[in-house]
Structure 1
Amino acid sequence: MSIKYMQFQSGFSVPNPSPFCMKGEILLKMAGVEYASEIMDDPRKAPKGKLPFLIDGGTEIADTALIQRHLESKYDVDFHAGLTTEQRATSHAMARMIEERLYWVTLYSRWIDNHNWPIIRNFWFGSMPPVIRNLVPIIAQKQVKTGLQAQGLGRHTVEDIYAFGAADLAALSAQLGKQAFMFGDQPSSLDAVAYPIIANSLIEKLPGPLLDAAKSHANFAPYVQRCEALWFADSGN
């Protein structure tokens, strides 16, 4: 098996608590290529200091956008098959909405929100030795705060941050409508981006405004169930 896929551990009853790790694995499944998944605890050891990344024939490809491009180029995969030009444009725009804003709202809800941060801290760092367990989370949370400030979302009020997330989820719900997938009966690349963020927004163990907003859309839960049955039926989640 020539492809090795490096990602975070699973948890919270979703295939992966990282939407990007879920996205990368879905792309591999959609491409129909064989791969072996491996867990990496320290993303600092990854090529670009983040997960996921894959190793294909000795070549390391980091970032899910580049993973998608690699699969399209090397394995002749069309993740937009059957979509019109307008649908492809919508797919591109909505993927950017998810990854450039809604993802950051999710990050805020976990790493900054005072209710969820202890849960996240215990999940990622709870098994570390005592001294490290007390120090590393402080450093990690500070890095997330710095990232949120640099991205711009962290400069807003809590109310505005969650309002942004609610608006993005509402847009996804409207796009999905009564369809099986984002553009009809067949999944496309947008589902590889939308399903992971929606599934992660619906995690009951991480309550708050983002969960409330996600649960307000009746078409989300069935959509997540369809996608999980399609791509992660054997994951045990």
Structure 2
Amino acid sequence: MTIKYKQFQSGFGVPNPSPFCMKGEILLKIAKVEYDTEIMDDPRKAPKGKLPFLIDDGAEIADTALIQRHLENKYGTDFDAGLTGEQRATSHAMARMIEERLYWVTVYSRWIDDHNWPIIKKFWFGAMPPLIRNLIPIIAQKQVKNNLKAQGIGRHAAKNIYAFGAADLEALSTQLGEKAFMFGDQPTSLDTIAYPIIANSLIEELPSPLLEAAKSHTNFAPYVERCQALWFPDVTG
């Protein structure tokens, strides 16, 4: 039975403006399982109120960490084959850095930054009927602000938030170095989230100090090109 994979629409020249939706699809590609993609606009309809999630043989699997575990357990995929125990520990720590801090800096740069918010508002809500098009973005942005505050990143000044993001990007650039992928010639689980977050940080239509920090690392653009050629060759910028 083919897996059904539910995610957001693509946009801004990247396979998906959600790094987690990109991650989930890359996991499926590495696992070499058949899947069909379905675009959803309202994550509230998802099992845990967020995207992506997949349906495999009737089971709904939400959250990319659980999607990865599901693919490992059911299909025997080792996303970190060849890594030492120390490298696996480094990979785990860097993935948490991306998902628990750098991701939230990205959210801030889009939903709170005064320059980018109108662009994001038009992208996600511009096709809605006029009445709700004016109301829903206000509610959505307020929820994002609450999420950012609860996470902690939203309690800081903008300059400090972007400094956190720049530090995380610096760490990723150092880890990548001159290698093809984060740990060498073959992609591993870290690349399934490092590539999506870096690609999303390099979106020119969403300028911010985060974009400038990402562009300062000359190894990022070639890395994104390699990953896109491997996993999303049909996507054009």
Task: Confirm or deny a common fold (TM above 0.5).
Answer: yes
Shift of residue 232, structure 1, vs aligned partner: 0.2
- Please state whether the residue corresponding to 1:66 is helix, strand or coil: helix
- Tell me the percent identity: 81
Question: Which position in structure 1 is the counterpart of 2:24?
Answer: 24
Q: Deviations over 1:43-84 (max 9, x none)?
A: 000000000000000000000000000000000000010100
Question: Which position in structure 1 is the counterpart of 2:100?
Answer: 100
Question: Which position in structure 2 is the counterpart of 1:41?
Answer: 41
Question: Which position in structure 2 is the counterpart of 1:182?
Answer: 182
Question: Which position in structure 2 is the counterpart of 1:61?
Answer: 61
Shift of residue 234, structure 1, vs aligned partner: 1.9
Q: Which amino acid aligns with 1:105?
A: V
2: CA distance, partners of 1:188 / 1:209: 28
1: CA distance, partners of 2:86 / 2:176: 16
Q: Which amino acid aligns with 2:174?
A: A
Question: Which position in structure 2 is the counterpart of 1:6?
Answer: 6
Is the Cα–Cα contact under 8 Å of residues 4 and 36 in structure 2 kept in the other structure? Answer: yes
The answer to whether the aligner puts 1:109 opposite 2:102 as a matched pair is no
Is the Cα–Cα contact under 8 Å of residues 13 and 235 in structure 2 kept in the other structure? Answer: no
Counting only pairs closer than 5 Å after superposition, residues 1-237 of structure 1 correspond to structure 2 as: 1-237=1-237
2: CA distance, partners of 1:127 / 1:156: 33
Is the Cα–Cα contact under 8 Å of residues 79 and 188 in structure 2 kept in the other structure? Answer: yes
Q: Scaled by the length of structure 2, what TM-score is found?
A: 0.99
Q: Which amino acid aligns with 1:76?
A: G
Shift of residue 21, structure 1, vs aligned partner: 0.1
1: CA distance, partners of 2:114 / 2:217: 25
Shift of residue 2, structure 1, vs aligned partner: 2.2
Shift of residue 236, structure 1, vs aligned partner: 3.7
2: CA distance, partners of 1:234 / 1:222: 17
Equivalences, count: 237
Q: Deviations over 1:138-184 (max 9, x none)?
A: 00000000000000000011100000000000000000000000000
Coordinate RMSD, CA, aligned? 0.6
Is the Cα–Cα contact under 8 Å of residues 24 and 64 in structure 2 kept in the other structure? Answer: yes
2: CA distance, partners of 1:66 / 1:165: 25
Shift of residue 208, structure 1, vs aligned partner: 1.0
Q: Scaled by the length of structure 1, what TM-score is found?
A: 0.99
Is the Cα–Cα contact under 8 Å of residues 7 and 52 in structure 2 kept in the other structure? Answer: yes
Q: Which amino acid aligns with 2:66?
A: L
- Please state whether the residue corresponding to 2:190 is helix, strand or coil: helix
Structure 2, gaps ≥5 residues long: none
- Please state whether the residue corresponding to 1:189 is helix, strand or coil: coil
